[in-house]
A and B are shown apart, each in its own frame.
Chain A
């Protein structure tokens, strides 16, 4: 059993602490008295995963066992989370492959012929055949690709169906094949508390017409945080949509949770508490850091993107989504929740090289903003780790780099930021234009591009943080890109604290969220 998460008070004994900064990392000495929020240590994984999956399918929550739901002549659609989960991509065999194989064994035994597998990529870029194969495994890929194993296409009017509206007037439009099936089996990985549950089908298989009801500035500003579903307006919207979908098609979901092992053994020092580093850890740190610093940008990115996480599975729960998800959330909280007393004046976050939208790609400045002010800032339950009107300090170089194939609309969106960085202004003035641009739509459908509206969603992702914080500073950030985003750059932590002094005074209370591995601050 791993040790629980805890809050470290930096004292004179505390060695320099590890900070991620994009495709790199560093040691940093924090001011005495700073607090560091450490995640719980990795939980032991399930030894007999095959047995656990079998048991989950046979003993579901709030549903008949899966074998009883399968019958000859039915239309079965298996939907699975796309490459945005987990992060980094897990070492093969992916847990989705192992679940899907067992579901297909049962379907074959029941004589189901009409089976379709769909990646729930929503407005994300399509997964390449290689990425699909990596996710579902060789056997499934050979049997179903390309005709019956595919990506969801949110811009194909022939493959979308409008199921109705919620009591709040929200359109529910999802994948036609899935909606017209006799059963949807959803295979999920819940990496953070925002994943899974109602979100799976209502977002993963949705169209822009549906997504715009919850992926907007107003909803995100009232999702506090979006990692705390009961207090997230976005999740309330998902729930309403899931109710509509549930009226049309039964959904049997299989949710899996992972432990806190995002890095392979060679990078073990990234997950160990610094004062417990032995000589091997220190030598690894030095060797990896020096090699990483000396490598070219291209090589460095290639190496980081090739990193596979040795995640272990901590839970498999199956059945009706609303019944399953509480068990999943409990497992996520067991692994990630750390209790924190009170808010700080300054929050520090070290941003890693990867976010859900740059797998095998480049993290552009918009994604850096989304990772920092969206994902990391929202890793809380209760209250943000930094007070209203406080300052957030992020570590990231914020390079001016874009992947022209994956993120074409991001390149144009970046230009809009010269005019305004106000999410409401951007939403009002430009969202529809980007969302309906035929060129972006064409690239989304036929190439491997994120949808035209996607950079807007990334910007909205940080809307709550932008409203909450008085200043945002990037240590080591490229000055011009950081300024374009509306933030400030500092060359060191001391400089960043100096910049923040006007807002938080000379001796601010500082909290550093020590992630990854994943931690969810339960702020009291």
Chain B
């Protein structure tokens, strides 16, 4: 007979403070339907919550992240022209990504920024949902299209909030860039707001899926912010999405090719872009590698975790 303590520990294993467990992935399809009682997030956009969040982000989150990693931020100057709501889109391979972006963006933007977070991951447990909502001003994003009704993202943009979205739909498993979903581009088209591309490098190596803390040694991570993009008058949503992917890929490639060569590669359409289920390293020193899509999983991870060249002044030419 096991003791009460053991029994309680077993019972509480994997459950939140209110006793709820996350739904196993293979059971998601048979999840009980929500009865309209989605986790409320409006409270996190009130003035007291904003004040508390800013204090937490600037006083705790940023110092912790900046002490555990060596972030390098490029392109902050492009944000001067951003007035009013914008959609920030970034590649996503680590839980470090959001705190890094929040730390990299100016306060005038982060104070009015809401972060799209996977409803099935961050809003499964009420404790995690509450913490995520307070700290990041997160709102639930349905990755599977199961929820119906008006999108909260559109409402937030209407309310003057900028959004940070990860159009890949979740953290990638190997650090490579995967195809973008249409949602972010569609939102830009619908609300006529600019999209700001952001590329993150090094976060997968620093804290991939499965790690809860950055690896020791203050790994270097790079946040590259691009120029805001607006959908053209004759441009379709899928075309705009492709432009967004290319913009993120170009920023990604900057680390390897330098700014100008990355721009040239984008202009020549020689950057590898993710299509369908095909993920890519937008560029590496080896074009052949970037296009070798059948490589073994370990090699993909190997390439994605290759330490970046030492950072110095921003490179214009690499030769």
Q: Known contacts A275-B22, A279-B18; decide if A16 and B4 are in contact (CB<8 Å).
A: no
CB proximity to B under 8 Å, residues A267-325: 273-279, 282, 285-286, 289-290, 293
Return the CB mask of A1-25 against B: 1 if under 8 Å, else 0.
0011011111111111000000000
Q: How far is the CA of A3 from the CA of B32 in the complex (A)?
A: 9
From A8, A277, A279, A293, contact of B27 by CB (8 A) = A8
- Chain A residues closer than 8 Å to B218, beta-carbon distance: none
Determine if B317 is an interface residue (Cβ-Cβ < 8 Å). Answer: no
Q: How far is the CA of A293 from the CA of B3 in the complex (A)?
A: 10
Q: Is A15's CB under 8 angstroms from B14's CB?
A: yes
Q: Among B5-13, B93-101, B168-176, which stretch is in contact with chain A?
A: B5-13
Determine if B233 is an interface residue (Cβ-Cβ < 8 Å). Answer: no
Determine if B24 is an interface residue (Cβ-Cβ < 8 Å). Answer: yes
Residue of chain B at shortest CB distance from A7 = B26
Q: Which of A14, A27, A29, A285 has the most CB of B within 10 A?
A: A14
Q: Is B32's CB under 8 angstroms from A13's CB?
A: no
**Interface size range of chain A in the complex:** 20 to 34
Determine if B15 is an interface residue (Cβ-Cβ < 8 Å). Answer: yes
Q: Is B25's CB under 8 angstroms from A13's CB?
A: yes
- B35–chain A nearest beta-carbon distance, Å: 13
**Interface size range of chain B in the complex:** 20 to 34
Q: How far is the CA of A221 from the CA of B272 in the complex (A)?
A: 60
Q: How far is the CA of A424 from the CA of B32 in the complex (A)?
A: 50
Q: Is B7's CB under 8 angstroms from A277's CB?
A: no
Residue of chain A at shortest CB distance from B8 = A286
From B13, B18, B32, contact of A276 by CB (8 A) = B32
- Chain A residues closer than 8 Å to B131, beta-carbon distance: none
From B1, B8, B18, B21, contact of A274 by CB (8 A) = B21
Determine if B298 is an interface residue (Cβ-Cβ < 8 Å). Answer: no
Q: Is B32's CB under 8 angstroms from A27's CB?
A: no
Chain A interface, >50% SS class? mixed
Q: Is B11's CB under 8 angstroms from A13's CB?
A: no
Q: How far is the CA of A70 from the CA of B30 in the complex (A)?
A: 49
- Using a Cβ cutoff of 8 Å, how many contacts connect chains A and B? 68
- Chain A residues closer than 8 Å to B7, beta-carbon distance: 27, 286, 289-290
Q: How far is the CA of A9 from the CA of B26 in the complex (A)?
A: 6
Q: Is A9's CB under 8 angstroms from B24's CB?
A: yes
Q: How far is the CA of A3 from the CA of B11 in the complex (A)?
A: 25
- Chain B residues closer than 8 Å to A29, beta-carbon distance: 10, 13
Q: Is A277's CB under 8 angstroms from B26's CB?
A: no
Q: Is B20's CB under 8 angstroms from A278's CB?
A: yes
Q: How far is the CA of A61 from the CA of B186 in the complex (A)?
A: 58
Q: Is B11's CB under 8 angstroms from A16's CB?
A: yes
Q: Is A10's CB under 8 angstroms from B13's CB?
A: no
- Chain A residues closer than 8 Å to B265, beta-carbon distance: none
Q: Known contacts A15-B14, A29-B13, A289-B7; decide if A282 and B26 are in contact (CB<8 Å).
A: no
Residue of chain B at shortest CB distance from A27 = B10
- Chain B residues closer than 8 Å to A8, beta-carbon distance: 24, 26-27
Residue of chain A at shortest CB distance from B19 = A279
Q: Known contacts A3-B30, A29-B13, A276-B32; decide if A9 and B21 are in contact (CB<8 Å).
A: no
Q: How far is the CA of A7 from the CA of B163 in the complex (A)?
A: 38
- Chain A residues closer than 8 Å to B23, beta-carbon distance: 13, 275
Q: How far is the CA of A290 from the CA of B20 in the complex (A)?
A: 21
Determine if B212 is an interface residue (Cβ-Cβ < 8 Å). Answer: no
Q: How far is the CA of A16 from the CA of B14 in the complex (A)?
A: 8
- A291–chain B nearest beta-carbon distance, Å: 12
- A250–chain B nearest beta-carbon distance, Å: 46
Determine if B29 is an interface residue (Cβ-Cβ < 8 Å). Answer: yes
- Chain B residues closer than 8 Å to A9, beta-carbon distance: 24-26
Q: Known contacts A6-B30, A293-B1; decide if A14 and B24 are in contact (CB<8 Å).
A: yes
Residue of chain B at shortest CB distance from A9 = B26
CB-defined A-B contacts under 8 Å, sample of 21: A8-B26, A9-B26, A11-B25, A13-B22, A15-B13, A15-B15, A16-B10, A16-B13, A16-B14, A26-B2, A27-B7, A27-B11, A29-B10, A275-B22, A276-B21, A276-B32, A278-B19, A282-B15, A282-B19, A286-B11, A289-B7
Q: A275-B23, A285-B11 are in contact. List 6 more A-B contacts (CB 8 A).
A: A13-B14, A273-B27, A276-B21, A278-B19, A286-B8, A286-B11
